[in-house]
Chain A
Amino acid sequence: MKLKVDFFPRWLATALMLTIGSFAMAQGSLTGVVTDAATKEPLIGANILVVGTSTGTVTDVDGSYSLSLPAGATQIEVSYTGYTSQTVSIGGQRVLNIELAAGQVLDEVVVVGYGTVRKGDATGAVVAIGEKDFNKGVIASPEQLLQGRAAGVQITAASGEPGAGVNIRIRGTSSVRSNNNPLFVIDGVPLDGRDDSAGGADFGAGTSSARNPLNFLNPDDIESISVLKDASAAAIYGSRGANGVVLITTKRGKQGTGNLTFSAQTSVSSVLNKIDVLGADEYVDQAVKAGANAAVVDFGSATDWQDEIFRTGISQNYSVSYGGGNQKTLYRFSLGYLDQQGIVDNTGLARLNARVNASHKMLNDKVELAVQLTSTRLNNSYALITDNAGFEGNIIGAALQANPTRPIYNADGTYVQSIDNRNPRAMLDLVDDKGETLRVLGNISATWHITSALSYKLNLGLDNASSVRRTGISPDLAFNDILNRGRAIIDNRYLQSRLVEHTLNFNKQMGKNRLDAIAGFSYQEFSSRGHSIVSQFFVTDEITLVDNIDGVNALDNNTAYRAFSDRNVEELQSYFGRVNYGIGDRFLLTATVRADGSTKFGPNNKYGVFPSVAGAWRLTEESFIPELFYDLKLRAGWGVTGNQEFPGNASKALFRPNNDGSLALVQLPNENIRWEETTQINVGLDFGFAGGRLTGSIDFFNKVTENLIFQVEVPQPAPGNPRQFTNLEGDVLNTGVELSLDARIVDNDKFSWQTMFNATYVKNEVRDLPTFVNTGAINGQGLSGAYAQRIISGAPLFAFYLREFGGFDSEGLGIYPQGDALIFAGDPLPDFTVGLTNNFTFGNFDVSIFLNGVFGFDVYNNTANAIFLKGNLRNGRNVSTEIANSAENPNNFGEASTRFLEKGDFVRLQNLSLGYTFPTRNWKGVNSLRLFLTGQNLLLFTGYTGYDPEVNTNKAINGVPSLGIDYTAYPSARTFTVGVNVGFN
């Protein structure tokens, strides 16, 4: 903004200047132009600050600035995000033109807990991913942006369903029972983490899987994601930091006149791999060979049931944003619409969201107000893809085992279906299952710069979600409890969390040394409430069932209505502090501590204290380090973090009434219940060569998690559910190595090639556990009570304990060399995770190829265990071609055993993106235009015979989760996206 000296009468001007001058003691003015050193383009909105004062200005659209210099001004500091700042002596000049060089990695600012730090100053293991490195394509939720991009961070979708829950593991799996996902913090507000979508009740085909609680965030609104991996970075989040912390920062407005961006993309998805089951032509012969009666199993028709349930999903995504600002005010509004169709009929996710981010400086820049508000409406459409269906199957299971000679419809138009043989088309058409969620996340903060060193910030946050799921099942559907009854389920869920945070910040440069300190208090309240009603025995199905829940014959059926409700309120109160001390440019020390008190902890252990210390030594400042090294920094840290993801009220005895009129003790109290504690040591080395062309880091970590929260069986006599929340003796050890490399191999304006590589090795072991626990329920016919996993000392978490299968004998019956004894057979935790990205630019074209590999883990194929057995062929069901041709005897039983345990190792071409950036420099009104074509999940190389080895069906037993079991899970999709991004000004 130019200071315009208007044509005042001279005498008035002089008088004004004298009066103003007596306060400001103006010494004259300074003007100039700030440009990019490489391209010579003017930099709009660059900051010019007179060193030692608060006088400053910003460059205008031509890159020029004009300043009134206060007395004693000797230097100005010129800075611009992404460029190396420069401090220039004024030296009596009136015109000073500055050229800024594009900033190197070290100057990147990285968001850490309660503040930011320069990458070069970070003492902890922090990975920051900015927009340009995000994954592209159909991205429904933020963690997909990160998948495979950060060493030590492993992201697995539970299935291919749009909006499905996600497992995010930072440096291994440490908790047995509690949520292993990290803490998500959005613009400084820690999220609740609970599933915000209602519903998922079991009506004959199992319970639905959990949804991803981050679905409400529009990934287009995200500026950067920081992952805090080690204890010294995460300890400031105390009892919630044990699994790492993911900090999401949304886009802010930038200085300059209003900037409008628009992006649109369309995608086409289809199933990546179908499973090879028998077709109608070969089915009857194979079934008869297995002992079936042709007259009974041949229906004369030909149906490809997998084709019947899968479709090509067409998705669209539109985003519009408008932002701008000046020195005092910055704003950004955005609106986004996503409509993602799943590859299974009737499934999908639609999201409409609006966001406003604004900040304003007032009172002479002493006070800064900021507000971030996002409001999202999510519509989910579900199909019967459940976790634990019985042998008749959910939609996927029913489609795989359905007889291919069976037609979909009878001659009269009704569905061909029976209780034992479900019709997937009927399951799609006769079930209407939709959910709606409205979520608002907002925060307001006020920062008061008390002095140049000290500031106080008040942060208020609110996260409010309300969701409903309405499921209507027609009485025509041939399910045991549904046929001729119908069912309607309406489920509501409300989640709210409120945050109040006070922080005091102190930053002072003391000679060569620098001190940054913060002290704070935080209070957060989490409440949830839900209620649901289930109606059955409908009189008519001509009225939409969910709009007619009272149209049931309640007089003759006392189970016509069932209702449920629940409510829970928990609070967290914390005190925390951090000191960062930099000695010259050589040593950096960080110490943090947080005391967290939670209503969940028992009265004897209300507060937990989580300290950490870390140090870094910038070796490049030492004389004995050769010039070869552009950057060499040694980091070491130790810290304690906690995990408090267990249900509240564990310290109290709870009595609940039941629908039979009884009031009984349902939960055993434990007054000593406390958090899980993870102690982590991290040693890392950040290095860089060739002026920053090659940078990377390597980290060694050792994490020990103790006080594992668990529900142990108390000694009898005890209530019907004899489990009590306890902190177990013993611990879980995760140790490993992370390596990440970033190389700009070629970098000129005609062609550039950048490679990014990350690799993680993690070893996991459970130690000193006094008992063992079984988990991993296996479902299917003849598999009641079967389980596949065990949490036991000396093995990795969720180790597979199975009967040993020794092939078939001469009669085709299974050989079990060790009988019914269970032996250690493998584990689902990967040993190695690798991500390799290659980015190329050719002139205005850019190509990005991203490969993801995971090695050293096993998957239990429950789908094959339940469905693909020769005996099923004899019973009139379909099986895989492999089993039909095998030597198995149809009389053989398929007990849970190593027969169905497969290696899951895979390499996936996760993302291939081509784009063209139009040269818009001279275009009027348009400042950027990019077209792109992206393919996701294009190729999968694996030995696993199911749909996808990256799968995690929920097979928990008694609240103990499972891992790595595939039971008719929603398959993954191959997606092609074409889109355009435009920026107007």
Chain B
Amino acid sequence: MKAFKKYLLLLLPAGVLTVMPACTDLEDVAEDAIGQEVIDGALPLPPDAAAALVGVYSQLTGLNSQDNAFALMEHPSDEMMGPTRGTDWSDFGVWRQLHSHTWDASHSFVLSGWNQLNSGIFQATQAIASAAAASNAQVGAEARFLRAYFMYHVTDLYGKVPFREATEGFGSIPKVLSRSEAVDFIIADLTAALPNLPSRASVDGGKATKEAANALLAKVYLNRGVFAAANPAGPYDFSSADMAKVIEYCDAVIGSGQFELSDYWNNFVANNTALSKEIIFAIAAETGNGRGNMQSRHRMTTHYNQNPSGWNGFTTVADFYNKWSDGGDVRKGAAVPGVTDVSGLRAGFLEGQQLDKDGNALTDRGGNPLAFTVDVDLFYSNERQGVRVIKYPPDFGNVDSPGNDYILLRYADVLLMKAEALWRSGNSAGALAIINEIRTDRGAQPIASISANGQEVLDERGFELYWEGWRRNDQIRFEQFRKAWSFKPESPERVVLFPIPQVALDNNPNLQQNSGY
């Protein structure tokens, strides 16, 4: 009896424990985000297509900072460099390596540019699928344009594009599109988007439009010879069929009647939204708004003691600067009302003694006269060396939240593409006419002829589109990218493409490194 009681006493708590409700199923609930389960490894689609599209546009704004993809497009060219000035700008060697073409797969912008552009492709793909699910044709078309835009830059910079479908989960390894496959993909996207895109007449430059799609198609066809070449370093074959397409798409833009050449600097000032009739596609901004902030464009080049104060960095390269022989060309430099009278800062190339708004000479931090020299040293420059470039004058209405739209596709570029296509098709006269139309508008003397290697066409693109992100692409196309210039000897063939970042190679076995790396 005693033993029974003892066992009962023993069983009681044991019983209590076992019949204890199996308390919780441990389901993880996301309290401060929309959390969705992964079902069968498939990635859930964004819940709202329009909100997803906003995210894709926001991804574009990364292009107006001075690093990442923009640095990859500019610093390796002959128009921009970032010299090390004593204790400033050493930055782990990133700027020096880009300028001297000595980068490798561990360069931080190679990775950040890769991530920046490819994540744009990802978000666009998701937005396209989400729009398709919601049967929203325009959102889908805009997302297609944006995907094509990002993919163009990945193809141009890296030569191959990883791709996954919208619902492919992250357990699968993405396939890789080769350069030509990527070009076909871009063309397919743009062609499919065209019918559903709005016209530039009805929306502002910040939105994807038919005209923007046409301009981008022209760009793709113009570079198709480069993208299709067996050896990325050349030689390139620009087929007449492609050139005809370029002219066709350029004419579609010209024929839309939405654009005409504007005063050069009106394209870049604070209220360029209203003043410029050349903006095809841009990162839109409004003074004080906080969206699309392009102030790095002047901060990255001005000196600390100029107004607005800058980071005292990037300059142009002597070889490029010395091409400017025409003194009347407003693109070389001009005073800008609302800027020069407020702070003394001019637009264009800044050489020599810098002045404040009253004409007094500025000094550097050590008290020396602030006179920018053409001569500059990549490794050991002082504060004053190097000719600076102001492409986007500051917005003195609100320097930190400027209203300048940051241009991604411009009408003058379309004109020059048509000129180049004409020249490549053998029609030098037609090309010359367009070039001289632009030159006259900019206050420069017309040129007489175009040499066999098209030097004038390349040079004109440099004069018109400097510091807008196209120089590297142009130099490669004209097979001048590997030539020597200041602080850069002749480069090996591999530099026409950036290496695939080491991290990307490690996590995607389908990716092969570009040759030479």
Binary per-residue interface labels of chain A (848-877) against chain B in the complex, 1 for a CB within 8 Å, 0 otherwise? 000000000000000000000101101110
**A599→B28 contact, CB < 8 A:** yes
Q: Using Cβ atoms and an 8 Å threshold, which residues of chain B touch A651?
A: 28, 38
1/0 per residue, CB under 8 A from A, across B9-26: the answer is 110111001001001101
Verify A652–B93 contact, CB threshold 8 A: no
Does A815 touch B at the CB level, under 8 Å?
no
Interface residues of B in 37-82 (CB under 8 A from A): 37-38, 41, 43-44, 46-48, 51-59
| A654-B33 contact, Cβ under 8 Å, with A571-B24, A571-B26, A871-B86 | yes
Residue B122 CB within 8 A of the other chain: yes
Which of these, B27, B92, B366, B506, contacts A783 with CB under 8 Å?
B92
> 8 smallest A-B Cβ distances: which pairs?
A662-B55, A717-B122, A871-B86, A716-B118, A293-B367, A663-B51, A893-B90, A715-B508
Ordered by A's residue number, 10 sampled pairs between the chains whose C-beta atoms are within 8 Å are: A567-B32, A568-B32, A652-B30, A653-B35, A666-B33, A713-B507, A724-B170, A781-B88, A782-B89, A891-B380
Is B353's beta carbon under 8 Å from chain A? no
Tell yes or no: B119 within 8 A of A by CB: yes
Cα distance A782–B123 in the bound complex, in angstroms: 33
Which of chain B's residues has its CB closest to A896's CB? B92
Q: Is A254 an interface residue (CB 8 A)?
A: no
A656 CB within 8 Å of chain B: yes
Per-residue interface assignment for chain B, residues 109 to 134, with 1 indicating a CB less than 8 Å from any chain A CB and 0 otherwise: 00000110011011101100000000
Whether a CB of chain A sits under 8 angstroms from the CB of B443 is: no
Whether the pair B29, A569 counts as a contact (CB closer than 8 A) is: yes
Q: Which of A126-134, A203-211, A558-566 contacts B (4 or more CB under 8 A)?
A: A558-566
Assess whether B91 is in contact with A783, with CB atoms less than 8 Å apart: yes
Enumerate chain B residues within 8 angstroms of A291, measured Cβ to Cβ. Answer: 366
Q: 1/0 per position for A578-612, CB-CB distance to B under 8 A?
A: 00000000000000000001111101001000000
B34 interface residue (CB < 8 Å to A):
yes
Which of A569, A652, A717, A874 is close to B366, meaning CB atoms less than 8 Å apart? A874
Question: Which residue of A653, A715, A719, A890 has the most chain B CB atoms within 10 A of its CB atom?
Answer: A715
| Residue from the list A292, A451, A456, A655 in contact with B46, Cβ < 8 A | A655
The answer, yes or no, to whether A91 is at the interface (CB within 8 Å) is no
Known: A716-B162, A890-B86. A569 touches B92 (CB 8 A): no
Q: A862 → chain B, closest Cβ, in Å?
A: 14
Task: Tell me, yes or no, whether B486 is within 8 Å of chain A by CB.
Answer: no
By a CB distance below 8 angstroms, the chain B residues around A719 are: 119, 122-123
Q: Most A CB atoms within 10 A — which of B30, B97, B162?
A: B30
Q: Does B36 contact A (CB under 8 A)?
A: yes
List of A residues within 8 angstroms of B294 by Cβ = none
Contacts of A713 in B (CB 8 A): 115, 503-504, 507
Using C-beta atoms within 8 Å of the partner chain, give the interface range for chain A.
Answer: 35 or more
* B323 adjacent to chain A (CB < 8 Å): no
* Residues from chain B with Cβ under 8 Å of A657 in the complex: 51
Interchain CB contact (< 8 A) of A559 among B88, B290, B380: B290
Contacts of A599 in B (CB 8 A): 26-29
Verify A293–B366 contact, CB threshold 8 A: yes
Q: Is B264 an interface residue (CB 8 A)?
A: no
- Interfacial chain A residues near B367, Cβ < 8 Å: 293, 295-296
* A820 adjacent to B93 (CB under 8 Å): yes
The digit string for A508-543, where 1 denotes a CB below 8 A from any CB of B, is 000000000001010100000000000000000000
Which residues from B are CB-within-8-Å of A598? 26
Whether a CB of chain B sits under 8 angstroms from the CB of A37 is no
Q: How far is the CB of A456 from chain B (nearest CB, A)?
A: 5
Shortest A867–chain B CB gap in Å is: 9
Instruction: Report if A671-B38 is in contact (Cβ < 8 Å); known contacts: A717-B118, A892-B86.
Output: yes
A717-B122, A771-B503, A874-B366 known; A523 vs B24 contact (CB < 8 Å): yes
- Output the residue of A450, A665, A666, A889 with the most chain B CB within 10 A: A665
B463 within 8 A of A: no
Interface range for B: 35 or more
Question: Which B residues are within 8 Å of any A CB, using their own CB?
Answer: 6, 9-10, 12-14, 17, 20, 23-24, 26-38, 41, 43-44, 46-48, 51-59, 84, 86-94, 97, 102, 108, 114-115, 118-119, 121-123, 125-126, 162-164, 170, 173-174, 288-291, 304, 309, 365-368, 379-380, 382, 400-401, 503-504, 506-508, 511
Q: Which of A420, A450, A573, A715 contacts B24 (CB 8 A)?
A: A573
A448–chain B nearest beta-carbon distance, Å: 8
Chain B residues, CB < 8 A from A714: 170, 507
Which secondary structure dominates chain A's binding surface? Answer: loop
How near does chain B come to A69, taking the closest CB pair, in angstroms? Answer: 24
Q: Give the residue of B29, B89, B122 whose beta carbon is less than 8 angstroms from that of A716.
A: B122
Q: Does A894 contact B (CB under 8 A)?
A: yes
* A722 contacts chain B at the CB level, 8 A cutoff: yes
Q: Known contacts A718-B119, A785-B91: does B170 contact A668 (CB below 8 Å)?
A: yes
Q: What residue in chain A is nearest B39 (Cβ atoms)?
A: A671
Within A351-384, the residues touching B (CB, 8 Å) are none
B454 vs chain A, min Cβ distance (A)? 35
A654 in contact with B30 (CB, 8 Å)? yes
Give complex CA distance A448, B16 in Å: 13
Instruction: Report the minimal beta-carbon distance from A780 to chain B, rounded to whole angstroms.
Output: 8
Which chain B positions have C-beta within 8 A of A567? 31-32
B34 contacts across to A, CB distance below 8 A: 654-656, 663
Alpha-carbon distance between A601 and B28 when the two chains are bound, in angstroms? 8
- Chain A residue numbers with a CB within 8 Å of B53 are 662
Q: What CA separation (Å) do A705 and B162 show in the bound complex?
A: 34
Interface centre among B12, B97, B122, by most A CB within 10 Å?
Answer: B122
User: Are A663 and B170 CB-contacts (below 8 A) given A654-B30, A784-B91?
Assistant: no
B208 → A minimal CB distance (Å): 15
A837 to B279 alpha-carbon distance, docked (Å): 76
Partner of B9, one of A296, A451, A663: A451
Most buried by A among B93, B162, B288: B93
Query: Of A566, A664, A724, which contacts B52 at CB under 8 A?
Result: A664
Given A451-B9, A662-B54, A716:B37 Cβ within 8 A: no
How far, in Å, is A793 (CB) from chain B's closest CB? 12
When chains A and B are docked, how far (Å) is the Cα of A648 from the Cα of B27? 11
A151 to B442, CA, bound (A): 78
Q: Is A807 an interface residue (CB 8 A)?
A: no
Known contacts being A566-B32, A655-B47, is A895 close to B55, with CB within 8 Å? no
Task: Indicate if A93 sits at the interface (CB-CB under 8 A).
Answer: no
Given A599-B27, A652-B38, A718-B119: 10 more A-B contacts, CB < 8 Å: A419-B309, A558-B289, A567-B31, A598-B26, A654-B35, A665-B123, A716-B118, A716-B119, A717-B174, A787-B92
* Candidate in A600, A651, A717, A771 with the most chain B CB atoms within 10 angstroms: A717
Which among A450, A521, A891 has the greatest number of chain B C-beta atoms within 10 A?
A: A891
Flag A435-476 by CB within 8 Å of B: 1 or 0 each: 000000000000010110010100000000000000000000
> Given A663-B46, A893-B90, A771 and B507 touching (CB < 8 A)?
yes
Question: Which residues of chain B are within 8 angstroms of A820 by Cβ–Cβ distance?
Answer: 93, 97, 102
Question: Is A504 an interface position by the 8 A CB rule?
Answer: yes
A871 touches B87 (CB 8 A): yes
Of the residues A448, A504, A558, A896, contact of B288 by C-beta under 8 Å: A558
The residue in chain B whose Cβ has the minimal distance to the Cβ of A720 is: B119
Q: How far is the CB of B311 from chain A (nearest CB, A)?
A: 10
Whether A502 is near chain B, meaning CB under 8 Å from some CB there, is yes
Interface string of A900-944 (1 = CB under 8 A from B): 000000000000000000000000000000000000000000000
Residue among B47, B125, B382 with the most chain A CB within 10 A? B382
Known pairs A656-B33, A876-B365; A661 contacts B86 (CB<8 A): no
B38 with A669: CB separation less than 8 A: yes
Kindly state the separation between the CA atoms of A621 and B150 in the bound complex, as whole angstroms.
77
Q: Does A712 contact B (CB under 8 A)?
A: yes
With contacts A657-B51, A665-B46 taken as known, whether A649 is within 8 angstroms of B30 at the C-beta atoms is yes
- A715 with B119, Cβ < 8 A, contacts A782-B87, A891-B380 known: no
Q: Bound state CA distance, A296 and B90, in angstroms?
A: 25
A895's partner among B10, B90, B102 (CB-CB below 8 A) is B90
